[in-house]
Structure 1
Amino acid sequence: MVDDFSKRRVKSGIPGFDDLIGGGFPEESTVLITGSTGTGKTTFVAQYIYKGAEEHGEPGVLVTLEERAKDIRREMAQFGWNFKKYEKEGLIAIVDGVSAISGIPSEERFVLEDRINVDNFLRYIYRVVKAINAKRLAIDSIPSIAFRLQNEGDIRGVLLKLNTILLEMGVTTLLTTEAPDPKAGRISRYGIEEYISRGVVILDLQEKNIELKRYLLIRKMRGTKHSMRKYPFEITDRGVVVYPSGEIY
């Protein structure tokens, strides 16, 4: 039996972050990135996929359910990230989960036509992962998968099924969700997401000296030792940067 602590690490691509989790995410784990609007969740997971391709040659799939693929590429270009380059090389696949459902024509290679049917959604993502032999997967975001479900039991069932499929894929996955009120202990939209994930990272905005500052907290990370402190981070011209020393340089 392999000790979780001896598992291969998957580098996050986030400067300063891997120092807090023993060198990277435990391989084949599912990690929840949660926070309120504007905390940087989409940038965090896009950086994970992009840097995996750029720095380690690891194929990754980015499933975008809130923005069109071309909008993601344009927004991430501000950090100097050329997603198209690695898409052409077969190292990145962006699954557009917005265009078809919104009735907007799409010229994307990977277009999700039915995220309303969760089984079809999961089957399609599975096929894309296998098509490029992906080692990394990011889904942004969980509420966009379950947005038509009202019953808590149905939502729980969908998330459990998602977790099972992710384990079968053998990828290291980041999922995003909304945190309605972290200060009141609500760290996810449904209160279920954190239980299906082996890791939970909370991104937060706090007022300090009459301006908002970004902070990160690793709430849970099974299979590795990790810090339980809050650390400042910024979204810079090179993406998300975490400051393990607690000081912003």
Structure 2
Amino acid sequence: MVESYVVRRVKSGIPGFDELIEGGFPENTTILVTGSTGTGKTTFGAQFIYKGAEEYGEPGVFVTLEERAKDLRREMLSFGWDFRKYEEQGLIAIVDGVSSSVGLPSEEKFALEDRFNIDNFLRYIYRVVKAINAKRLVIDSVPSIAFRLKEETQIREVLLKLNTILLEMGVTTILTTEAPDPSAGRISRYGIEEYIARGVVILDLQERNIELKRYLLIRKMRETKHSMRKYPFEITNSGIVVYPSGEIY
């Protein structure tokens, strides 16, 4: 008799999204969230971390490589998300990866060193994950890691190493990256990010009736039955909301 295999799921915290992926992300999986500028990638990742703490009591780490931690906190307050509250409770850790890179001292509890080294970076993230026993991790973003490397050609090696370490950490991870032109089939900056991830979610902006509308496509999700159609979503006052039933515009 063959034993049934049950995939443990991690809730995204994004209304309407989990019903598209059988109840949530497969546990301990690396998910790539990709899209052009302004599609909501950082918000998607931040919502995953914040709602994990607020609704499910799951600790999470947000590594910000594109903006300072204090700027991220301020922006997220517009959705009613008080990151500081859960940081003080030990449920969220924000790693400031920006201040030192631009030559500014960081006031944060968790901050990367001024000289970027991928091995040191991975070791540091590992320590922070273990320090709060994190179940969720967001790294925003892959191009910002590549930008800190001496040679962009290193990115493949770095991503493979990153993915291996993430799997060892036992966390469910969201990596964000840029999609230069999703309509032309280019869904990531370097063309390899989607291959190291076990799930790929594309956020897109399309013009409809002289207005830009937001759409989401689940390009890949291992161990999950999912549709390959585009679903509309909005960034509301309380965060991202996906509409599985279809067209709302």
Task: Flag whether TM exceeds 0.5 (same fold).
Answer: yes
- Cα distance in 1 between the residues matched to 2:92 and 2:48: 11
Report deviation, 1:182: 0.7
Q: How does 1:30-45 map to 2 (within 5 A)?
A: 30-45=30-45
Q: Which amino acid aligns with 2:161?
A: K
Query: 1:185 & 1:106 partners in 2: Cα distance?
Result: 39
User: In 1, distance between residues paired with 2:77 and 2:84?
Assistant: 10
Task: Please name the residue that 1:135 is paired with.
Answer: 135
Change (3 A) 1:2 1:105: farther
**Is residue 180–residue 186 contact of structure 2 (8 Å, CA) maintained in 1?**
yes
Structure 1 spans left out of the alignment, 5+ residues: none
Percent sequence identity over aligned pairs: 81
- Asked if 2 retains the 8 angstrom alpha-carbon contact of 1:35 and 1:41, the reply is yes
- Equivalent residue number for residue 21 of structure 1: 21
Please say if residues 115 and 121 of structure 1, whose CA atoms lie closer than 8 Å, have aligned partners that are also in contact.
no
User: Contact 1:215/1:233 (CA < 8 Å) preserved in 2?
Assistant: yes
Is the alpha carbon distance of 1:79 and 1:115 closer, same or farther for their aligned partners in structure 2, counting shifts above 3 Å?
A: farther
**What SS does the aligned partner of 1:146 have?**
helix
Unpaired runs of at least 5, structure 2: none
The equivalences for 1:1-249 within 5 A come to 6-114=6-114, 116-147=116-147, 148-152=149-153, 154-248=154-248
Q: What displacement does 1:116 show?
A: 2.1
Amino acid at match of 2:26: P
Secondary structure of the 1:105 match is coil
Asked if the contact 2:49–2:136 (Cα under 8 Å) also holds between the matched residues in 1, the reply is yes
Q: 1:2–1:164: structure 2 CA closer, same or farther, 3 Å change rule? A: farther
Q: How far did 1:151 drift?
A: 4.6
Is the Cα–Cα contact under 8 Å of residues 103 and 114 in structure 2 kept in the other structure? no
Runs of 4+ in 1 over 6 A off after TM superposition: none
TM-score scaled by length of structure 2: 0.96
Q: What is the CA deviation profile of residues 136-191 of structure 1, one whole-angstrom value per residue up to 9, with x for unaligned ones?
A: 00000001111134353x21100000000000000000000000111111000000
RMSD of equivalent CA atoms: 1.5
Give the whole-Å Cα distance in 2 for the aligned partners of 1:80 and 1:158.
Answer: 35
The alpha-carbon distance between structure 1 residues 57 and 161, as it changes in their structure 2 partners (threshold 3 A), is: same
Deviations 1:27-57 (A, max 9, x none): 0000000000000000000000000000000
Deviation at 1:78, TM superposition (A): 0.4
What is the aligned residue count? 247
